């Protein structure tokens, strides 16, 4: 049997708020440099160049067609390398990694690039008979289909997660991200803006000097109470929600028995589950539980969690369902999507890149476990358990 696939390289773009420094970069042009960097890093890790099997990328709101194939060609991979674009909404990037790993596990030993990309700034306006709409339905008639901010607010009310807890968690995510950025925690994983042709200073805001992801540090514990609620008598605000963002992330995967001596993250188990579409933010919790069960591990054995922080209320609900503390130091240690931003189709892959930096680049010993996970619109969750190999 083929050994578990291993991520041996992981890179991402800076994450920019919609309308800022990546706003003029089309979705395929945003993905291409990340794909190229992941390929080059992967070949360097293996010590040789090989024939690539596929490029699998997640994307939610792009122009249609096959973004992964367009980006693969733009990255200079050659006409022989195919591409596949998948959409599992906020879980798309992680689902793409799982899909690529599944092909490797099935016996095709050619390395694969997997990840995700979103350009919220260039997402087209969609219409039916000339009537525009923001997104397609997540559920059919007769099922709940709330917008994500509304769903987060409803979840907070249902579980008694008050405004103070949400603001405290959002402030924590930003503090963690600022601290991480200033100590260089993102330096090895992030490509410079110039690679994407994004020059100038369109990242105007309050981010500290030296912080590349432009939402980081944009809110503070003192400022958070000043944000008005998004809904009457609600608790979710723009301050304790993620920024809608542009960004891309990609990883290089090889079969575990064909990685030479390259260190990396072996994908030990994964799970994709459904949950109540009225409360889609909870989906990551049962997905994590199922993935850990399949890996034969428990929460206590995990050294690092990267769970997409779409809203503070949503993340706190997931932590509560899992029995983890609000400030568990293993969860999004360097800040999550609340601070970095949330490029929908890319965020699941950003979580894998972050695990790679925290565990592989960070020197964690072989056998260390990490979990990446996301809750998904329509009532789903996706999670994967990785193990450090050296």
Q: Say what angle helices 284-295 and 312-322 make with each other, to 10 degrees.
A: 40
Q: What integer pLDDT is reported at residue 203 of this predicted model?
A: 47
Burial class (CB in 10 A: 0-12, 13-18, 19+), 258: middle
Indicate whether 298 pLDDT > 50: yes
Q: Is the dihedral of CA 134, 135, 136, 137 positive or negative?
A: negative
How crowded is the C-beta side of 195, counted as CA atoms within 13 Å?
18
Q: What integer pLDDT is reported at residue 204 of this predicted model?
A: 44
3-state secondary structure of 61: coil
How crowded is the C-beta side of 363, counted as CA atoms within 13 Å?
1
Q: Indicate the DSSP class of residue 244.
A: B
pLDDT level of residue 205 (50, 70, 90 thresholds): very low
Q: How far is CA 183 from CA 60, 61, 177, 192, 309, in A?
A: 33, 34, 10, 17, 22
Q: Indicate the DSSP class of residue 225.
A: G
- What amino acid positions are annotated as catalytic residues? 90, 342
Across 16-40, average pLDDT: 97
Exposed e or buried b per residue across 214-247, where buried means at least 16 C-beta atoms within 10 angstroms of its C-beta: bbbbbbeeeebeebeebeeebbbbebbbbbbbbb
Q: How far is CA 276 from CA 113, 146, 160, 280, 292, in A?
A: 32, 11, 18, 6, 21
Q: What integer pLDDT is reported at residue 92 of this predicted model?
A: 98
Across 159-182, average pLDDT: 97
Alpha carbon 335 to its chain's center: 12
Superfamily of domain 6-123+242-389: Thiolase/Chalcone synthase (3.40.47.10)
CA-based nearest residue to 338, from 188, 178, 204: 178
3-state secondary structure of 389: strand
From CA 113, how far away is CA 96, in angstroms rounded? 9
Indicate whether 354 pLDDT > 90: yes
Across 319-327, average pLDDT: 98
From CA 26, how far away is CA 22, in angstroms rounded? 9
Q: Model confidence over 89-100: pLDDT tens digits?
A: 999 999 999 999
Residue whose entry in the numeric block shows the structure tokens 């990242």? 203
Q: What integer pLDDT is reported at residue 80 of this predicted model?
A: 98
The Cβ of residue 259 has, within 10 Å, a number of other Cβ atoms equal to 22
From CA 86, how far away is CA 104, in angstroms rounded? 17
Task: Please state the pTM of the whole predicted model.
Answer: 0.96
| CA-derived radius of gyration, the chain | 19
């Amino acid at each position: 049997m083929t050994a578990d696939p291993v991520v041996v390289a992981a890179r991402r773009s800076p994450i920019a708020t919609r309308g800022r420094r990546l706003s003029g970069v089309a979705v395929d042009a945003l993905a291409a440099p990340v794909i190229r960097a992941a390929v080059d890093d992967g070949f360097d890790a293996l010590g040789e160049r090989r024939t690539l099997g596929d490029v699998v990328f997640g994307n939610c709101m792009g122009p249609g067609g096959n973004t992964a194939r367009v980006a693969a060609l733009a990255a200079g991979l050659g006409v022989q390398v195919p591409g596949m674009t998948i959409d599992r909404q906020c879980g798309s990037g992680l689902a793409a990694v799982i899909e690529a790993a599944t092909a490797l596990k099935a016996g095709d030993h050619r390395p694969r690039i997997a990840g995700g990309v979103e350009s919220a700034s260039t997402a087209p306006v969609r219409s039916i008979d000339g009537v525009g709409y923001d997104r397609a339905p997540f559920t059919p008639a007769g099922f709940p289909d709330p917008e994500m901010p509304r769903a987060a607010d409803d979840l907070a009310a249902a579980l008694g997660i008050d405004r103070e807890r949400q603001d405290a968690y959002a402030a924590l995510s930003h503090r963690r991200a600022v601290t991480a950025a200033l100590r260089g925690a993102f330096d090895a994983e992030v490509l410079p803006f110039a690679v994407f042709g994004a020059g100038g200073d369109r990242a105007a805001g309050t981010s500290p000097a030296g912080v590349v992801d432009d939402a980081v540090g944009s809110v503070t514990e003192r400022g958070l109470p000043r944000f008005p609620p998004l809904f009457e008598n609600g608790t979710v605000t723009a301050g304790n929600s993620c920024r809608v963002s542009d960004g891309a992330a990609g990883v290089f995967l090889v079969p575990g028995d064909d990685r030479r001596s390259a260190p990396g993250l072996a994908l030990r188990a994964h799970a994709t589950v459904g949950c109540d579409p009225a409360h889609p933010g909870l989906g990551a919790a049962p997905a994590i539980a199922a993935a850990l069960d399949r890996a034969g591990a428990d929460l206590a054995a995990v050294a690092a969690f990267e769970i997409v922080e779409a809203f503070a209320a949503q993340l706190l609900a997931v932590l509560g369902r899992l029995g983890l503390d609000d400030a568990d130091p293993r969860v999004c240690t360097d800040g999550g999507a609340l601070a970095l931003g949330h490029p929908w189709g890319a965020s699941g892959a950003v979580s894998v890149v972050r695990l790679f930096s925290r565990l592989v680049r960070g020197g964690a010993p072989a056998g260390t476990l990490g979990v990446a996970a996301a809750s998904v619109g329509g009532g789903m969750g996706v999670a994967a358990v990785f193990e450090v190999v050296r």
